Amino acid sequence: MNDFVVFLGPSLPRDEAAAIAAFDYRPPAAQGDIYRAVRGGARAIGLVDGHFEGVPAVWHKEILHALSRGVHVFGASSMGALRAAELAPYGMRGVGRIAEWYAAGAIDADDEVALVHAPAEMGHVALSLPLVNVRATLDEAVETALIDAGTAGHILQVARGFHFKQRSWKAVLGAVELPEKTARTFGAWLHTHAVDQKRLDAEALIAAMADLARDWPGPHRADFAFEPTDAWLAGVEYFEAASGVSHFDRRVIDAARRDVARFELILARAAAALLAGGDGAAPPPRARRLDRFRLERGLTDRAAYQAWLGDNELDEAGLGRLLAARDAVASLAGRDGAALEAALIGEIKLDGIYAPLAEQARQKEARLNQAGAELAAHDIAPRRAVEWYFEQKLGRPAPDDLEDARRMLALPDIESLYEMAMEEYLLSSGSFPTFASHLYRP
């Protein structure tokens, strides 16, 4: 199931996870990955492994955003267990023994689950021993009367003294002072009885998500209102930066789509620029491009020109870059959806309509954030939402082929068509309450 996403690394090999359930397995999560999974249409997310150092870790706020948009979020084993314990009051579901330890306060340090692992090309194989596995193994040894609680406590204390990158059973046993017979017996027992608690908890998370998929209860209903703080909005801009078009500017493009005739002209210009063959001729000088544009738009008056630049969040240098891009965009290596979005925003700005469309986008964003889980809880057929969008918003029949509808609106995929149409449909109902409490400000 592509809409059930699991972030997985050294806790459990991907092929073994896939044997439990056929989900969308992705590498250990970094900051922004959960946000992008939500934007990609995930209905449930399992966070097992995540980055701890060198790469920004998964942000609490993006998990809250997922929950507020109706996504079920599970955590286990590693980073997922940490975040589940921290966000359990907001609806994140911890799975497994490690999550229980964190939730109960039995453990609280990040390095309890930290380890060194091989790169993705080598399957994220674990190269060091996490402390939670030491704890689980020692509990098993005491339970079977192999060692007593005092000995287990001593071994644990020694293991805790190692940095997580250097910790291994060989290193720990080499530093532990044990009677020779006990050391020999315990060392032999480890070869067949060492407990990999991280693996067990990862398997439990996948099984729990498989149960959810089998008995789908509908979208998660959050009991808090998600607040788009300045830090969140800045984060979203950062997460979207790789595509060259911000999340907000995608809302601006959505607003432009409502005027079909004008959008078709904007799209035609953007597509022509992207698909132009290019004959190698040098583009006209910058000053000539600017003069030509001002004459075309009737912006010969300097004050009117400056006001136009301000309305469209441009300065003269920025306008010059857009005009240069229009003339030379055929040289771009990539002609994918991101390039088309960038070209569309450029044409919207060149058309002088960015300011009013941006205001519509801000109003829509505010209402969507207010709606939160209420929006996600509506069970509307996506196809019906697309038909409504064409008939009521665009004033024309919906194409029989949804691929034709997607191409007409220059959307990257069918899922994006569904998402836009459903948001417009649900917001037009005007049925969402205004939340006055339970605001969370991380």
pLDDT digits 0-9 by tens, 254-304: 999 988 888 878 887 887 766 554 433 444 556 777 887 787 678 888 899
Pseudo-torsion of CA 246, 60, 113, 6, nearest 10°? -60
Closest CA to 257 of 410, 104, 38, 84: 410
Compute the average pLDDT of residues 95-104: 94
Residue 58 DSSP symbol: P
331 pLDDT band, cuts 50/70/90, is very low
Q: For 19-78, how does the pLDDT look when each residue is reduced to its tens digit (9 = 90+)?
A: 999 999 998 898 888 998 888 789 999 999 988 765 678 999 999 999 998 999 999 999
Structure tokens given for 442: 């991380």
**What sign does the CA torsion over 338, 343, 349, 354 have?**
negative
Indicate the pairing of strand 44-47 with strand 72-76.
Answer: parallel
Structure tokens given for 409: 């609106």
Q: Which residue is listed with tokens 């934007």?
A: 39
Helix (H, G, I), strand (E, B) or coil at 5: strand
Q: For 147-176, how does the pLDDT look when each residue is reduced to its tens digit (9 = 90+)?
A: 888 988 888 888 888 887 778 888 888 888
Q: For 221-231, how does the pLDDT look when each residue is reduced to its tens digit (9 = 90+)?
A: 999 888 888 88
Least confident of 65-79, 129-143, 172-186: 172-186
Give the H/E segment covering residue 440. strand 439-440
Residue type present at position 308: W
Helix (H, G, I), strand (E, B) or coil at 435: coil
- pTM for the whole structure: 0.58
Beta bridge partners of 26: 7
Q: Which residue is listed with tokens 């922004």?
A: 32
Buried b (16+ CB within 10 A) or exposed e, 140-158: bbbeeebbeeebbebbbeb
Residue 122 reports pLDDT greater than 60: no
Compute the average pLDDT of residues 318-334: 56
Could you tell me if 418 and 381 are in contact, meaning their C-beta atoms sit under 8 angstroms apart?
A: no
What is the rounded CA–CA span in Å between residue 385 and residue 42? 19
Residue 400 DSSP symbol: S
